[in-house]
Amino acid sequence: METLNFPIDVSGLQSTLHPLLQTIKSSPIIDTLKPSTTADSVAVLLFLLSALGYLTRGRVWDRPDPNYKIYFERPQLVDGESSSKTAATRNIAQCLEDGSYQAVIFWGSQSGTSERFAEILARECLIHFGIRALAADLSDYDAESIAAIRGTHFAIFILSTYGEGDPSDNAAGLWDWIKRVKEENTKLDSLRYLALGLGNSNYKYYNRVLDAVVQVLDAAGATTLVPSRRADDARGATEEDFQSWKDDVFALFRRMGYEEKSVEYQPTVKVELRAAPDPQNDVAHQISVHHQQSSTNSAILPLPVKNARELFTAGDRNCIHMELDLGNNDIVYKTGDHIGIWPCNPDEEVQRLLHALGLEARRSDALEVSPLDGSAKPKVPSLTTLEAALRHHLEICSLVSRKTALDLAQFAPTPEAKTMILEIGEDRERYAQLISTTHVTLARLLQLASPTAPWTSLPLSFVIENVLPLQPRYYSISSSSVISPRRIAITALVVNKALPGKTGSTIQGLTSNYILSASKLPSNASIPTPSFQHTAYDNMESGRVFAHVRKSKFKLPITSSTPLILISAGTGFAPFRAFLAERTKLHAIGKPVGKILLFFGCRSAHSDFIYREELEKMQNSLGDKLEIVTAFSRDGDKKVYVQDRVEEYAGEILEMLDAGANLYVCGKASMAREVDGKIEEAAATVKGLGETEVKAWTDGLKKRGKWKADVWG
């Protein structure tokens, strides 16, 4: 065995210890510290050893390594390069000059959609017009340098708005700079720009980020080359709005003298199908190739369904209460957190797409996917099977975009199919009419254009590139982690939206029907429930769903005596079921509990008043600590909504807020917007506040965590 020798500076050690020993010997209190027992002797020895270790650190042990910096040098540096080489410039104007770019496409994204659009636009600018455009993360550059962009270049902004009209995290620098431009009256006369905003019109501050940026840029003298457009996810039109705006941008390029090139399809990934047994990979950890376990998100695991029951007592809809067993795995949750359910695509849609592609016989073949360039991000793992890719990794049930329809034409199996596809892809009105009456997935579009001939010339790389990766759907957890720490309850409304027209087409909610199928409860709908696979393992019993937990800030106050105002409609009551369960438990054991004012709305007290019996038991236990205010939109002649009841009780709500209550709103964003408006109107009247003062009042409550919302589009 090789002996490792560490040199010790003995002279340094002696010079360090000698003064210490002399000090100890000459101390006037040394006699009082003489150990009288074995324990005392051990304690003194440990003290002396600790002191010795402290004083000799850096001289005898833990000495600095003179080559320490080498560990942090880039391994790719070649001889002659300095390890202190500076990073790329944060000056975007300089970056455009150095890289010979004609344009920059800034993206501000919270979920990745703006980033994806920016990358698509940059790629198509180059291949269709020869325009070199840099897709730029806003956080990678100093926003102040935007002012230095020359008039020979132009900037494109694709900006998302989320929450209370907030910019994405990576757009914080732009947001601050825009405020300074306005305050300092900065001039941006040389800046030419285009802008697209992503948002949801059900939210109160729909596309606020886009509006604020455009307003400031225009006031500062910047020139907009194409009217800004606001994409609206409430209509499910984000993809089409982007495509329409991109058409206008390309029309601008043609007017500017750029020649448009017709290019053939160029894949970004290489896809190979080869006959092989099913890979024995752990599919549970391959449901998403991008999902990462973090401090916010747990790992994805298949969780057994232990209890499920129907919550509606009448009608043609289902609302499922489902409990998932956490067992002995590492997943933990806290009251108010979200659970992300990872659905799989239904058997019917998987079979439909395999049939349209002419690949039914190869469903079990091994699928190998590898990027052809560094920018391509994988959507499916390698290796997997073709069927697994279509079932577990791609959103094949989503609406096909008009751009995808247009690009499909080159692969049409017949001239008739090509003609039809081109008509749909080139005519906005024709496309809009089609999707308004029919839920057009990729498979259904292929079959619509060519009912008999399969699309054998359509590359699988095209399918993988143009279909979005499968994403989780989030539900507010309706159980308390204090009362039920190893079981997570979900409250899910099963969505089946009938489209107008003679086709009888229905959009069946993917995840809600997946949950209904896993529950094994009968459907109340007039149409059959799609069939799903609820496990990826042959030897695992059915009734499991893939899920992960995501932390939330929608939490109860630490002090149980803090009053609560809970406002919900429909399944928005889910987290409040957990809140009330905890408060009821605390009250039962004698802890002080503050007053709770609960608003709950649904269609009818006789059909969809979910958890009614549980709520009545909580009312009996809490007594006057719980006040329940209901709103039914289909009982009687007059429709009463939650926001109407909030308006009636606005005075009491304001009194409770002034007394320190916490206000929570959960449900659809449109309901939350109306509720906000009613409370703000009451505050303006009762407190005598102006519009600006009311906004400052509500913003103050929200910043202090006294007003929280958990809403969806």
> Considering only CA atoms, which of 537, 548, 553 is closest in space to residue 472?
548
Please say whether the beta carbons of 109 and 78 come within 8 A. no
In degrees and rounded to multiples of 5, residue 166 shows phi and psi of: -90, 150
What is the spatial distance between Cα 21 and Cα 52, in angstroms, rounded to a whole number? 10
Strand, helix or coil for residue 253: helix
Tokens 């329409």, residue? Answer: 244
Distance of CA 699 to the CA centre of its chain: 23
What is the spatial distance between Cα 431 and Cα 449, in angstroms, rounded to a whole number? 13
Please say whether the beta carbons of 505 and 439 come within 8 A. yes
CATH topology of domain 564-712: Rossmann fold (3.40.50)
Q: Which amino acid, 291?
A: H
Helix (H) or strand (E) holding 265: none
Strand, helix or coil for residue 195: strand
Please say whether the beta carbons of 610 and 571 come within 8 A. yes
What is the spatial distance between Cα 95 and Cα 104, in angstroms, rounded to a whole number? 10
Please say whether the beta carbons of 652 and 639 come within 8 A. no
What is the spatial distance between Cα 339 and Cα 342, in angstroms, rounded to a whole number? 10
Please say whether the beta carbons of 142 and 94 come within 8 A. no
Laid out side by side, the sheet with 473-476 consists of: 473-476, 338-342, 544-550, 301-310, 319-325, 487-493
Is it true that domain 349-468 has CATH number 3.40.50.1970?
A: no
What is the spatial distance between Cα 579 and Cα 582, in angstroms, rounded to a whole number? 5
pLDDT of residue 619: 96
Question: 3-class secondary structure for 486-534?
Answer: CEEEEEEECCEEECCCCCCCEEECHHHHHHHHHHCCCCCCCCCCCCCCC
Specify the DSSP class assigned to residue 169. Answer: G
What averages of pLDDT result for each successive group of 10 residues across the chain (713 residues)?
A: 41 48 48 58 67 59 44 36 49 94 93 89 93 94 95 96 86 95 94 95 90 96 95 86 92 94 86 73 63 87 93 95 94 96 96 97 92 77 90 94 93 97 92 90 96 96 93 96 97 92 80 95 92 62 84 95 97 98 96 97 95 97 97 90 97 96 95 95 94 93 94 83
> Considering only CA atoms, which of 288, 306, 163 is closest in space to residue 548?
288
Q: Which segments of the chain belong to CATH 3.40.50.80?
A: 564-712
Q: What is the largest CA-CA distance in the chain?
A: 107
> Considering only CA atoms, which of 280, 281, 300 is closest in space to residue 343?
300
Specify the DSSP class assigned to residue 337. Answer: -
Q: Which segments of the chain belong to CATH 3.40.50.360?
A: 92-255
pLDDT of residue 321: 98
The CA dihedral of 678, 679, 683, 689, to the nearest 10 degrees, is -70
pLDDT of residue 30: 46
pLDDT of residue 177: 96
**What is the C-alpha radius of gyration for the chain, rounded to an integer number of angstroms?**
32
pLDDT of residue 516: 95
Angle at 296 between CA 309 and CA 142, to 5 degrees: 140
pLDDT of residue 533: 85
What is the spatial distance between Cα 23 and Cα 67, in angstroms, rounded to a whole number? 37
> Considering only CA atoms, which of 92, 107, 117 is closest in space to residue 210?
107
Residues facing residue 702 across a β-bridge: none
Q: What is the CATH number of domain 92-255?
A: 3.40.50.360
Statement: the pTM of the whole predicted model exceeds 0.85? no
The CA dihedral of 14, 17, 23, 25, to the nearest 10 degrees, is -90
Which class would CATH give 296-343+472-552? mainly beta
